[in-house]
Structure 1
Amino acid sequence: MPCVRPDPADKDAEPFEEVDPTGRYGRYGDLLGTGATKKVYRGFDQEEGIEVAWNQVRLRSFNEDPQMLDRLFSEVRLLRSLRHENIIALYSVWTDTEAGTLNFITEVCTSGNLREYRKKHRHVSFNALKKWSRQILAGLDYLHKHDPCIIHRDLNCSNVFMNGNSGTLKIGDLGLAAIVGKSHAAHSILGTPEFMAPELYEENYTEQVDIYSFGMCVLEMVTLEIPYSECDSVAKIYRKVSGGIPPAALSRVRDPEFHAFIERCLGKPHARPSASELLRDPFFSSLNAPAASLHPPYSHVGDRARQNTMDPSPSAAASAGLAGLCIAEKATTATRH
């Protein structure tokens, strides 16, 4: 409990909009984000003295959609059972019957989701992308080895969250996750179309669909393009995915190691490596290489124009901090979300 009771006359103190039933957690008024089913506010844990995420869902909005409510409670139940450094942690949960809300406290990631973070920070080294990828895989490996196995089913860069001061990534938004038995098979169509494996559309799949989605995450991290951004409808995405046509962004990954790694993740279900196998892949063996050996793993149509407009001198490159960086230009950023 707080050692000093809040003083309403203290103008320097930031007032809580509400507190949890125990008095431990307080909610501020500013939003960290919104989703299809919930709002996420900045909160504070007075016991530990740390900021948290206060997730709030108005239950009356589910009166006519009990399935969505079931998914929400599934997310909460899942989070309470999971303990891994690359999975968002749940601290507390309760229902406010008077206000008609479900509230749960999770750890907060200070830098938002990976998509926002990558778009904000375009100058990222080859090594950093590999470190991020390895952390996502570690989280998936934990989910897939969970007893019973957990398939995320909606892994994409907006569902991975970043602590920018430490470079730590955490997988969140488990509301569509499926818990499967020994067969590791699931049978419903859910997810984000650009990141959905072909077999997901066929309603017969295993945890390998998460490996496909992970490959698409790596592709987006490298190119700063949402996969299949060349398509203007879900139907066109489906036709390409079901026809085995990779997203156009893959052709702009010029580094052969990155290209081959992504292709392995996007392969046929039986040929895709598991998360455990990918964590042992030689792709990650260069993480201790000297920075001078790093290079941008992507290319795009703007390369020639950029060469004509940038100062090619070594001093200019050094002052701009371009050595060994994966630089994603604005021209490659997808406008569709």
Structure 2
Amino acid sequence: MVMMIYTVNPDDILDKDAEPFVEVDPTGRYGRYDDLLGSGATKKVYRAFDQEEGIEVAWNQVKLRCFADNEVMLDRLFAEVRLLRSLKNDNIISFYNWWTDEKDNTLNFITEVCTSGSLRDYRKKHRHVSIKAMKKWSRQILRGLEYLHTHEPCIIHRDLNCANVFMNGNSGQVKIGDLGLAATVGENHVAHSILGTPEFMAPELYDEDYTEMVDIYSFGLCLLEMVTMEIPYMECNTVPKIYKRVISGVKPLAMEKVKDPDVKAFINKCLGKPRARPSATELLQDPFFNGLDDDDQ
């Protein structure tokens, strides 16, 4: 893979009388503000502006020095960039550009920004949401998963949860993001690494022999979180306790809070044994979604 390396003097681009950017990309098109949209162990996401299109975007910045001695993680980061560039779907976050900054030793990439942040934060903010609305959100997540799972080659997200799904609250549009742990797999659709967020990881992930059905399991727990506003397995205060319950087939206590029998049955379908779980395509045809208009999101 050929990396684009740029060293830029910010004083050559930044106009103190213009937009209050703290950083500009090498082309001068994208300007980064100091507003932090989100951060993780290795990546920070800032609000930014596409001066050519006149739209707000997300500026994702990764400090490469954090991986100076970890070639595997470096390869994974650049694999995410290559993967993002290849994806085009209404329910997957769009990717616009990327570059590395040699001076600051950062990997930077520009992606679409969703106006209302993560689905987790959006749901916490809006406590009174109908089952119909949650069905609309769920259907869009499944459409994104269907795209990933039927992609050639198949793509397994491996870290689907409500913090990695994003909302445009004014339109009700939902998009899957954060594909940093995604894996492309061959014709047998089998992957082997143990990765993900423990509360949302399917039991077979721990066996290091799994398929895209792990995303269906995670999706089921996303729906559970949407309905209960509770992260699954909150009753467990350590990762080993979560692991023990998951591999034993013990459902999260939050399931007891799901009063709608159709919702509970649909979640249980997603949490079944790997071979019993429906595919994203099959779930989209489920009677659970009957009554939603075709022009609904």
- TM class by shorter chain equals over 0.9
| 1:90-123 CA-partner distances (Å, limit 9, x unpaired) | 1000111122111110000111111111011101
Give the alignment's TM-score, normalised by structure 2.
0.92
What is the SS of the residue equivalent to 1:73?
helix
Structure-1 residue corresponding to 2:84: 79
| 1:57-114 CA-partner distances (Å, limit 9, x unpaired) | 1211211222222221111111000000110111000111122111110000111111
CA RMSD of aligned residues (A): 1.3
Superposed displacement of residue 174, structure 1: 0.6
User: What is the letter of the counterpart of residue 15 of structure 1?
Assistant: P
Q: Does 2:190 match 1:185?
A: yes
Unaligned stretches of 5+ in structure 2? 1-12
| 1:113-171 CA-partner distances (Å, limit 9, x unpaired) | 11111011101011100000000000000000000000000100000011111111111
Task: Spell out the pairing of 1:174-323 with structure 2 (5 A cutoff).
Answer: 174-288=179-293
Q: Does 2:35 match 1:30?
A: yes
Q: Does 2:162 match 1:157?
A: yes
User: What is the letter of the counterpart of residue 31 of structure 2?
Assistant: G
Q: Does 2:54 match 1:49?
A: yes
User: What is the letter of the counterpart of residue 150 of structure 2?
Assistant: K
Larger radius of gyration: 1
Structure-2 residue corresponding to 1:8: 16
Tell me how far apart the structure 2 counterparts of residues 80 and 35 of structure 1 sit (CA, whole Å): 21
Give structure 1 regions of 4+ aligned residues with deviation exceeding 4 angstroms. Answer: none
Tell me how far apart the structure 1 counterparts of residues 46 and 56 of structure 2 sit (CA, whole Å): 11
| 1:238-261 CA-partner distances (Å, limit 9, x unpaired) | 111111111111111111100000
Unaligned stretches of 5+ in structure 1? 289-337
Structure-2 residue corresponding to 1:304: none
Tell me how far apart the structure 2 counterparts of residues 6 and 204 of structure 1 sit (CA, whole Å): 50
The number of aligned residues is 281
Structure-2 residue corresponding to 1:172: 177
What is the SS of the residue equivalent to 2:291?
helix
User: What is the letter of the counterpart of residue 244 of structure 2?
Assistant: R
Give the alignment's TM-score, normalised by structure 1.
0.81
8 Å CA contact retained: 2:14, 2:21: no
User: What is the letter of the counterpart of residue 109 of structure 2?
Assistant: F
What is the SS of the residue equivalent to 1:226?
coil
Q: Does 2:144 match 1:136?
A: no
Tell me how far apart the structure 2 counterparts of residues 198 and 57 of structure 1 sit (CA, whole Å): 30
Superposed displacement of residue 14, structure 1: 3.5
